[in-house]
Amino acid sequence: MSRLHVTRHDAATGPVLHVTGALDFEQATALREQVERLVLSPGKHLFIDLSDLEFCDSTGISALLAARQHAQAAGAEVILAAVPADTLRILRIIGLDQVFTIRPGSDTA
């Protein structure tokens, strides 16, 4: 599995994080730390592009939930985009597809 790499850019709707590699026990902290440094505004979106996610375990799911909590505390929303099929299946099984806004593509508009 590849190392986790998170890149950031800003869109009109809020920050966009592109997650590449494995979001697992060893590497999920990197996403958490990146999210904790974000200053989010009410009504904005934290867009997390998972199009290049290779693997996600329960620690990775917890990191996504922590991102959601961080956004909600600021009055913002998390949008998960281009979630790989295996990760989407897990989100559906545990009911998190009802918690997160999920978009099929990685378009931030």
82 found inside a domain:
yes
11 found inside a domain:
yes
Q: Which of 68, 70, 73 is nearest to 99 (CA)?
A: 68
Give pTM, 2 decimals.
0.94
What pLDDT sits at residue 67? Answer: 98
75 found inside a domain:
yes
Average pLDDT on 74-85 reads 97
User: What separation, in Å, do the N-terminal and C-terminal C-alpha atoms of the chain show?
Assistant: 30
Q: What is the CATH number of the domain that holds 65?
A: 3.30.750.24
109 found inside a domain:
no
What pLDDT sits at residue 108? Answer: 63
Q: What is the pLDDT of residues 15-73, one digit of tens each?
A: 999 999 999 999 999 999 999 999 999 999 999 999 999 999 999 999 999 999 999 99
Domain count, the chain: 1
Q: What is residue 96's DSSP assignment? A: G
42 found inside a domain:
yes
Which residues span the domain enclosing 80? 5-103
108 found inside a domain:
no
**Cβ neighbours of residue 36 under 8 Å, at least 6 residues apart?**
70
